[in-house]
Homo-oligomer: A and B are copies of this chain.
Amino acid sequence: MSHKRVTLADVARTAGVSSTTASLVLSGRGSELRISPAVQERVRGASAELGYRPNIVSVGLRKGTTRTLGLVSDTVATGQMAGDMIKGAIEAARDHGYMLFIGETEGDPAIESALIDAMLDRRVDGIMLTSMFTRTRAVPAALERLPTVLLNTLPAGPTRAPAVVPDEVAAGRAAAQLLLDAGHRDIHLVGAGPGADDVPPDTVAGHERLTGIHEVLHAAGLEPASGHLCDDWVPPQGWAATHDLLEQHPRPRAVICFNDRLAFGTYQALQEAGLRIPDDVSVVSFDNYPMADWLRPGVSSFAIPHEALGRRAVELLLAEIAGGPGGPDVHRLPVPLRARGSVAPA
């Protein structure tokens, strides 16, 4: 608290002009309003010399804009996904001179509402509504008049807000195609399937990945060789599902796991059964967690572009703030394959 921050009035005094003049010069409207080049130079010099930085709080009061965005998430503690998505958002925001408030609702509507209020109290210029697993949700009424973007989330009802999500259907198609191209015909599913409705509740990813897989298999005149629904996609369930699979089909040749944690369980079960990857069984998976690299051999996995999702959401939000159209478009980002050693020809 000792040193006071240098204020616009200080700059003006040093340059020997009024603070109006200083403000005009520093906001670039100097020439437009006929401030002489000599004075402009003096103001800029004083500003640089004193190390002047405008007080954004004051600007916020005057202009109603705070160069601040809010990110409302259901949880930020879901490992890599959360981290990368937030990282992308933070970086994109910083690139444009914005800062990010981050809040967490734990799925509680009361907390969410309080959080949104807290952000509105601080006059954020826009808000991103995020979920750490892709899902569908309604947009709170309070946000219909503030620039808003849905991140990793699809709107439940009609809304002005655009959405940014990974293109999971395409990823599902690519996963099935990858195995078909390797010559496999009997493709087992761990995590969801075999029917189109055999997916964990409330998860968009499961539904869309399965849709893509079905599309490609049907086009080739095939059905999944088997499907094993898991309601929580963690290694123990992947292990159990693969265990079931092996009882019905002792020598599977190709498995699609619905994410890398399931794949971890699948690896454990296959290895305990004495089956080698990829020589005996080919495995392909989704998410591209760090774990995909740590399994032996690494599992080929489709990488959700978390960082790009966060980045794109910020860019859409800034466009909306700048007065862009901001239609309720759904932006689907590609989910590229990270090939490792888990797929071999049939």
Contact = CB atoms under 8 A, between A and B. Distances in A.
A57 B61 contact: yes
A228 B76 CA distance: 35
A273 interface: no
Contact of A66 (B57, B86, B117, B145): B57
A294 B99 contact: no
A90 interface: yes
Contacts of A264: 294
DSSP class of A's interface residues: helix, strand, loop or mixed? helix
A268 B298 CA distance: 13
Interface in A78-130: 78-80, 82-84, 86-87, 90-91, 94, 97, 99-104, 111, 114-115, 117-123
Interface residues of A, number: 60
A172 B52 CA distance: 49
B90 A84 contact: no
Contacts of A97: 118
A161 to B, nearest CB: 16
A120 B55 CA distance: 9
Nearest to A3: B145
15 contacts: A56-B123, A57-B66, A66-B122, A68-B101, A79-B83, A83-B83, A86-B102, A90-B103, A90-B104, A91-B104, A99-B119, A239-B296, A264-B294, A265-B294, A268-B296
